[in-house]
A and B are shown apart, each in its own frame.
Chain A
């Protein structure tokens, strides 16, 4: 069975597969990791995929409109949150307003037009009435990983990424956790592809992803 999944879930899904193999020794899961948009386009064009785990509801909605997903299979397997991060040595950010401090010269965020984490960040900062006031400090990354790298290398004094990304890096620290109420929920929906020839297997893995043991692994990687 082939699972196409957002590359941001690589580490957690590999752990989940190892856990799943304990109770399903015969199940053989192959991962295809990439950007959610590209994965959706592959499925639309007939790539042999059984289960699709997206980093955004947008791409699953698109497949749903085209009736390419198994009805009733849509499940939210995880959620995520936004955090403000800073390079390890740097301190002084205790609230979002501290981003206005003169010592913070550059703030890295994902490009709000193309990077989901960036559009959530923009939404949250707009609700805090900070977006326009920080406009001159923003540097835009092409993906969350780039934002993380800017901060890791101190090329940016602060950045906004998902909790899960911040936990993966040893060279940044979480300065502020942004409340969920500031932005639309960050959800990771999973669906079974209608054309899948392994729907029973896909269903079993999808059910496992909602189990208690899977939830424990998700939270170990910072997902909720």
Chain B
């Protein structure tokens, strides 16, 4: 049996979760400050991939990054379609809302006085973020990261659309499960399903272990 889907899944999901982690914190922080009238629009756009069927997300990504759109032409030298980076993009787009929403909710729980104190002491915006917001909201951030990781690991529909289902290159575990079921080889599907569940459970246990350690 070819175990490449396990390694491809881990590479893709870790890259996507890394991006979700950094951008999720930055976006949530920005949203705390933003008082303009278009906040709902930003929130709507970010959360949209949660509301839409993943296949539709894949279609939209294909239209954006395909060579028939201006953005796609701009990226064409980068040749994104059918690469592991495309799989990571799909995984990122569907898991980012979970990171963003959880982190934002955690930031909103922080006592504003603590942030004001940091500001009065003259800390820069970056320092306030990394020294005050992030440590104070750490449990929420960890939960958001785990949710993003688990969702990204199971991503199927959008990945199939923009990354293709190419064994050894873009075939993640969910794609391998689909392929083996369709080919009438359910045993491989069962193995990859178990590995998928196992990795997800390990991620959850790891986070609760660190939470206990901090407490």
Contacts and interface: CB of A to CB of B under 8 A. Distances in A.
Interface string A93-133: 00000000000000000000000000000000000000000
Interface string B28-71: 00000000000000000000000000010001001100111000
Contacts of B66: 44-47
B166 to A, nearest CB: 5
A166 to B, nearest CB: 11
A44 B161 contact: no
A34 B166 contact: no
B125 interface: no
Nearest to A11: B183
Interface residues of A, number: 22
B81 A34 contact: no
Nearest to A195: B67
A46 B184 contact: no
Given A8-B182, A11-B184, A46 B68 contact: yes
B160 A45 contact: no
A194 B19 CA distance: 36
Contact of A31 (B68, B76, B167, B182): B167
A2 B63 CA distance: 21
Interface string A1-33: 010100110110000000000000000001111
Contact of B182 (A7, A42, A47): A7
B62 A45 contact: yes
A67 to B, nearest CB: 14
B123 to A, nearest CB: 47
Interface of A: 2, 4, 7-8, 10-11, 30-34, 38, 41-42, 44-48, 145, 168-169
